[in-house]
Structure 1
Amino acid sequence: STLTTIIVNNLTDEMQGINNAWIINCTDEAGNSAASDEWVTHIDLTPPEIELHSPDNNLSTSSSTINFNWTVNDNWWNITGNISGDIPTTSLTCNLTINGVVNKTNVTLEGNAINYSANVSYLISDFNDGDYYWNVTCMDNATNTQTSGTHFFTIDSTNPIIAPIYPVEDQFINMQDININFSVNTTGSILKRVLIVLNGTESSYRPESSLYDITCNETIIGSELYYCNTTTSLLDGIHQANITAWDDMDNNITYLLNFTIDAITPASFNFVSPTEGDYANKSQDWYYVNVTFTETNPDSCLLDNGTTNTSMSGDSTTNCFINMTSQSEALHTYMVWANDTAGNWGVSSARHITLDTTKPTVSSASAAPDPAKAGNVIITVVFTESGSGLNTSVEPIVKFAYSNTTNVTLTNDSYIGTTWVGHATVTPGSDGTATIKVSGATDNAINTMLDNNSAGTFTIDTIAPTVNMINSSFNTTDTTPSIAFNYTDALSSTASCTLYLNDTALDTNPTVANDTNTVLTVNDTQSDGTYTVYVNCTDLAGNIDKSSEITVIIDFSAPTATVTLSDPTPTKAGNVTFTLDFNEA
C-alpha cells in the first residue's frame, strides 16, 4: 500500500461552475484493475466582485458616525452539465479597512455558490475630524481575493474660527468710513457663507452668488484661512457687528465685534493756573504747564518742546499737567498734544516762557572824550544779558568818581537794547583818573545786577598844555622857515600842534610828544616881509595853549646900487665926484 499524489494541471475556465466528478482507476502489472469511488470537485477561479455604496466618495460631513455599505457578488454563472446533482455552497470573508487599518474582520457570509450576492452595512461611530480613505477586501472559500476601489471622506464637526483684524474688540476708530477686516479659519473645510449684521443692515458673502458685499479670499489655496472685508460708513458712537460664518458642512459660529467710532479731535485747549502767561520771563530753572481741553474719550497728553515729546500726567482725563524741571536758561516754546482713544490728535497753540537766572553784568563802560576836559562828558555802558533781555524801563544808576572820590551821577540820554548812554559835567581842576560805577540794571526776569564800582575808567584833564617857543625873533632868507618849540602837560602824552604865520596855519604835527623839542616847518613859500609867528597845541582832552609870539623877517632879495658921475665928460685933470645910491626893500 503506497500513498500517491497526483497533480492535475491545466484547469481551465470551462471547468468553473460545474461539479467535476473524478475517480482513480489503478491497473497492476498483471492487468488487474480497480476504480475508486466517485469524488465531486467544484472548480472556482473567479474572485468576488465588490461594489461600494456609502459613504459617497469624497463625502464631507460634520457627523462623527458613518454607515459603511457595500455589495459583494460571487460565482455568477449558470451551472450546466453537472455530473453530480449536488449544489455547492460558498463562504466569503470580508475585511473593512479604514486609513490602511482593518476595522472589521472575519466577516463570514455563507450561501448558495450559484449567483451569490450579499449587501453588507456597518455603522461606525466616534470618528474624529479629519480625512479618511476606505476599501473592502473579500476572499471566497476558494481563496480568490478581491479588493475594492478606495473611497474618501472628510469629517469636519468643528465650527469656523472668526478673528477680527480691524477693528479689534473695543477698538476706538477715528474715521467714519472704515473697512472691516477679519479672518475665518474653516478648520478642515471650505467657506460657504458669511453674514454681517451691523446697525440692522446685513452684508453677506456667498461664493455661489455674484451679488455679495463681503469679499473673502483664501490667500493660500487649501490653507482653510480666509481673509474677509467689507466697507461701511458709520456715525460717531458705539457699534456692534454680528459676524456669522458657515463652512460647507454648515458648522457655524457668530462673533460679536464691539467698537467705537470717534472722529472728533480734542479741542478747546485752555492753559490754566499755575501756567505762566505767554512770553513770561522767570528767574527759575523750571516751568509748569497745566491745560484743559474738550474730548469725549480722552487718552493721553504730550508736551512738545520742539525737540522732545514728554508724557504728561492726567491720562484719561481732560486736564493734563507737568512740571518741567532742570531746564536751561533760554526761551522755551512748547505746545500740548492730546489724543483720544480713537487716535485723534489735537494740539494747543504755542506758548513761550523765558527762563533766566543770570544777573546782567557790565560788558564795557567808556567815556567820550577820553581824556575829558572841563565841560560835558558822554559815558556809554554796554551790558551783557543773553536771557530775558534788559528791562529798559528800569534805568540803571551810572556815576563816575573823581580821583578825590567825589561822585557825579549821570543823566540818562538813551537806553536801547543792552546799551545805556548818559552825560554829566566835568568840573575844572578835577584832573586825574575817574572811575565809572554802575548799579541797578535789571532784566525782564527781575534779576538785578550786582553793583559794579569799577566798571571802567577815563582821564579828566582840564589844564591846557604849556607851549614853549625855543626860537626867538630872527631874520632869514629862507622862505619856508622852521620853528622849534616844545610843550609840557601833566596828563597828555601827545598833543596836536600847529604853526601859525600871521594867524595862518602853515604846518601841523598831530602827535607831538610831551616835553620834546619839535620843529614845524612852513609848508608854503612866503614872500619877503615881517611875520608874527606862534604855535598852538591841543592836548588829548582838547585843552588848547598858545606859545609866545616871535617876529620872523624873511628877506631873500639882494639890495640894488646906482652910480652917478657928477663931473662933465670928458673931464679934465683933477678930482672926479661919483655918487652911489643903494636900494634895499
Structure 2
Amino acid sequence: MNRLAFIIECDKMRMKGAFLVLLLFISTGCLHSQSTLLPELLESYGFVTSADSTPPVISLLTPTNGSIVQPFSWINLSITDDTNVSLVLYHWDLIANETLDQPYALKARTSEVGHYLYVYANDTSDNWAGALFYFISDGAAPEIVLDTPSPGHIDGSGTEVNVTTTDLHLQTVLYNWDHNPNATGSPLLSTEFPVGDGVHTLYIYANDSASNWGTAEFSFVTDDLAPVVSCSPTNNSVLSTGANVSIHVDDASFEAMVHAWDTDSPVVVSTPSTEVLTPSGEGIHVLHVWANDTFGRNTSLDFAFEIDDTAPTLDLSSWSNGTLLTPEDTGTVVANDTHLDQVFYSWDGQNNVTYVYSLVVPADDGMHTLRLFANDTAGNTAVRGYYFEIDASSPSIQDPGDLVSVMNDTETTIEWTGHDANPGTYRVLLNGSEIASGAWTEGVPIVLAIHPTSTGTLNYTLILTDLVNHTTVDTVIVVVTQQTSHDENSLSAITFVLVLLGAGSLVSGIVVIVLWKKRELFKPTGGKPTID
C-alpha cells in the first residue's frame, strides 16, 4: 500500500469513529438532531454541512506519471473545482508542504533517484483533494567506452571494434563510420574497420529516456596495401648535377626505406621521407628505392633522371651590338638547347618579358640596354647583354617663312636649320624638281641662294632624312616681282612729297632726294653652307 492510500484509509477510519460517536450522542438523547450544536460537531469531525461537497480535481498534464525526467525539467499540473480553488499545497518526498500558485507548474528534483510528489487542493467550501505522483530524475548522459582496440590502432580492414554504452535508462545507440548515414547499434556494439587505406573515424551517439545525449568518436587506421613510393621531381625529369630529389613512402605501418644511385652502395633510412642529390656526369642516372612495412609488405621502384649541366646558347640574329634602331624594328633571338625551357628579355632593367617570335623595341629616344635570358629544364641559364641607340623621332626644321623677291635678284637666300640626333641627307626641290642634295649636320643651317629670272611664284621644298629614314618636309613660297627703274621711282617719290607739302605752299627751293634701296631678306653669313 502506497503512502497516499494509507493516509486515505486513516481518514476513513477517523470519519467512521466520529460518525459512531455522533450516533451515540443522538440515540442517548444527549444531542437532538435539530440542535444547533449538531453542525458544529459534524464540522469538528470533518463532515461538510455546506451545499458544495465536491472536492477539487488534481491531474498531471506533463510528463506522464512514473516518467524519467531531467533535473529542473517542468512538471505541469491541472487543478480545477466546480466553485473555486482556494489553496494548493505540495511537497516532495518527506519535505514540508509548500504553497503552489497558478499555473501550477514546478521543477523536478535534481538528485538522480525516484521522487514522490504530493499535491493537496482545497476549495472555498473547504473540500480537500489529494494526489500522489512519482518521477525519476536523470541528468547524466550515457557513458560510451572503447573496449578494443586502442584509439589510433593500425590494422587491416575488417578488424573488430568493440564499444560499450551504459546508462540506467539507455534508450538508443547510433553509430557511423566517417560521417556516413547512421546505423542502429546496441549497448555492446561491435563493428569493423572500413576498407580503404587511411584514417577512419567511428562516431557513436547514445541517448536515454530523459533525452540526455552522449557522444564519442574514435579514429583508427586501415592499412591493407604495400608501401607507395613517390619522388619529386617526377620520373624522367631533366636535372643538373647536385639537384635535390625528394623520396616519400606512404604507408601507415612504414618500417624502413633503402635507396641507391646507379650501382652505388644502398643507404638505409628509417623515416618515410628523405632527400638525395643527383650524381655528376651528363646522361641518364637511375635511382633505386625499396620500402617495407611492419606487416612484411614491400615495394621497389626505379626512377630515371637525365643530368644536363650545359647552359643554352643565346644570341641576336638580326642586330649587331650598338646598332641604331627604331621602335618599328623587330629583333630575333636565337636560343638553342636540347631541353630549352624559356627565353625572355628585359630593356633597361625593367620587368622580364617572355620572348615570343620577336623583340619589341622601346619607343624612347636615346641609349638603351637589352638583356637576354634563356634557361633549360635542368635549371641551367644563359645571359647576354647588349646596348642600342633608339631613334624614335623624325628631324625637325626651323621654318624661315615665305619670301618676296625681284626678278634677277642675286642676294636673296633661303636658310633652313635641321635638328636630329642622327642627321642623314637632304634634298631641295624647286616646283617639284630636285635642284640640290647632300648630307646635313645637326644645328648647321642649309643656305640656298635663289636667282629668279622671271616673275611669278616659286615653291622651294626641303626634305630632311635621318640615318633611320625618318623624314621631315618644309616648303618656302617665294613671290618674284618685276624690278622698276630708278627714275620712275624718283618721280613717283617727288610727286608724293609735293602733294604732302600742298599746292599753296611758298617754297623758294625744294630739293627732294629720294633714295630707294631694295630690302634684303636673307644675307648669307660666314661659315654657313650656301647653295648657288
TM bucket (normalised to shorter chain) is 0.3 to 0.5
Normalising by the residue count of structure 1, what TM-score does the alignment of the two structures yield? Answer: 0.35
Indicate the structure with greater strand content.
Answer: 1
- Normalising by structure 2, what TM-score? 0.38
Which structure is larger by alpha-carbon Rg, 1 or 2?
Answer: 1
Which structure carries more helix by proportion?
2
